[in-house]
Chain A
């Protein structure tokens, strides 16, 4: 059974930093692309960042314009863990952050339960 478990969310001041983690199990972690998708309170879904799996472009990273230069995605295939390093956080980054496994193409076939990040003074 595929499982994704996020952690690391919390309250942070504007301009601060936070690192989210996503522990995965139930699939060959290194083989699959993964993403972070966020949802602001009462709002819709926004893709944030992605990282490719093993293969020709293994480890290639992608970012939404809204977070480019501030967020960094990485993975540790030896620990089956995905990370999102978030710097220079803004109030508009407040959201539940989900990690998601990427299916063929770029759909999201499995999701974690999410971790809440609140940026406020």
Chain B
């Protein structure tokens, strides 16, 4: 298995532009998570899906952020418009369960820089 695949690995964009991050979970994993990592705030859960349905989006910073999972093998995290404070590493993870005995498998992340 190739693991969780994220693209792009690096993204540099100008403030105000739309940014789309992509994730392909491990086949058969029913749960998909989007995390953001910064030095100041560490690893924060933004949103997670179960069977393609968003379950908890309480970590999404504001309306500029949106996430979709149109099918079991693909998810996107979109930021529109992007701001410098959105600069971070964004991780996607997938799992057989929500946690509790089911470890999450993380992708390699997308490093986003907004200038």
Q: Do A and B come from one complex?
A: no
